[in-house]
Amino acid sequence: MTAPGLVLHFDDEAALAQRLAAALVCAAVGIEVHAFPDGETRLRLPPALPPRVVLLRGLHRPNPKLMPLLLAAAGARELGCTRLDLVCPYLAYMRQDMAFVPGEVVSQRHLGRLLAAAFDSVITVDPHLHRVATLDEVVPGRRGVALSAAGLLGAHVAQVVPGALLLAPDEEAGQWVRAAAAAAGLDHAVCLKQRRGDRDVTVALHGAPVRGRAVVLLDDVVSTGRTLVSAAAGALAAGAASVDVAVTHALFVGDALEAVRAAGVGRVWSSDAVPHPSNAVGIVPLVAAALRAG
């Protein structure tokens, strides 16, 4: 397998691209972007590309990013790239994996097909998959790699909060909490969640042994933060000595971070899959290893 010869990136992810290129021992080059007054975009890539190129693009706040991403992929093919790998640390539109009411568009399916048409492989971190077992199913006919930052977060928690109880704020987060606990040798438990709307969430501790414990809520993504708010408030009311948060994707939409702090959460740690002041663990070693393996 030819080693990656270049990491292409957009300006807002230059720091992560530089770290990834250093790990792969290749160059990182930014894509020049010009926005026209009518909202269209002109891109400029290096005029001659090596056979294998990595295109780094996270899809948090995805809609303005998708068209430039697809145009950059098509342009890379025209400029000499024969193997194009997408490194997408946060892969959007994964939640909608079925039509819950007649007429709903299954966004996961259609985004996956677009990416499969543009890239030879898609590498992401902790995608929010429900009824789909592997990322290969999302990008049909291509190599899909779903990495996890759970072990990195668990190791970080074990270092800064020895003996912490890792608590999943809902059943879906249980998979990440179990992996983090196993990697770090920590106790863990899982809450139960009832969601009535995007910002209307109730979390029950379901007998989690939090009294007197330093609790760390661990999840794959924080968006509005309402799940963590309910879980943190419940843990503190049940006697937890402290509550911190560890998360792979720190989206923190709107007032989410302030709401989480107001609920009694102390520290927040995240991976650098999404740029945020809380970034505490790096995903580059995971991504670089996946690129070398395939």
Question: Which pLDDT tens digit goes with each residue over 213-262?
Answer: 999 999 999 999 988 998 999 899 989 999 999 999 999 999 999 999 99
Q: List residues with catalytic annotation.
A: 193
Distances (CA, A) of 265 to 32, 107, 108, 145, 236: 40, 33, 32, 33, 9
Give the confidence band of 96 by pLDDT, cuts at 50, 70, 90.
confident
Instruction: Say what the pLDDT of residue 161 is.
Output: 97
By the 8 A CB rule, do 46 and 95 touch?
A: no
* pLDDT at residue 170 in the model: 85
- What pLDDT is recorded for position 204? 67
Contact 54, 7 (CB under 8 A): yes
Q: CA nearest 230: which of 193, 258, 255, 190?
A: 193
Q: How many CB atoms lie within 10 A of CB 44?
A: 12
CATH of span 150-272: 3.40.50.2020
The string of pLDDT tens digits covering residues 118-151 is: 999 999 999 988 788 899 999 999 999 999 999 9
Give the contacts of 14 (CB within 8 A, at least 6 positions apart): 28, 30
pLDDT of 1 > 90? The answer is no
CA distance 77 to 201: 45
Res. 194 pLDDT band, cuts 50 70 90 = low
pLDDT of 209 reads: 87
Query: Tell me, what's the pLDDT at 207?
Result: 65
Is 80 exceeded by the pLDDT of residue 9? yes
- What is the spatial distance between Cα 292 and Cα 85, in angstroms, rounded to a whole number? 11
Q: Where in the chain is the domain with CATH 3.40.50.2020?
A: 6-148+282-293, 150-272
> 95 pLDDT exceeds 60?
yes
Contact criterion met (CB below 8 Å) for 265 and 243: yes
Instruction: Specify the pTM.
Output: 0.93
pLDDT of 8 > 60? The answer is yes
Is the pLDDT score of 200 beyond 80? Answer: no
Please write the tens of the pLDDT for every residue from 244-257: 999 999 999 999 99
Instruction: Supply the pLDDT for residue 131.
Output: 82
How much is the CA Rg of the chain, to the nearest whole Å?
Answer: 20
CATH 3.40.50.2020, domain 6-148+282-293, yes or no: yes
Phi, psi (rounded to 5 degrees) for 85 = -105, 130
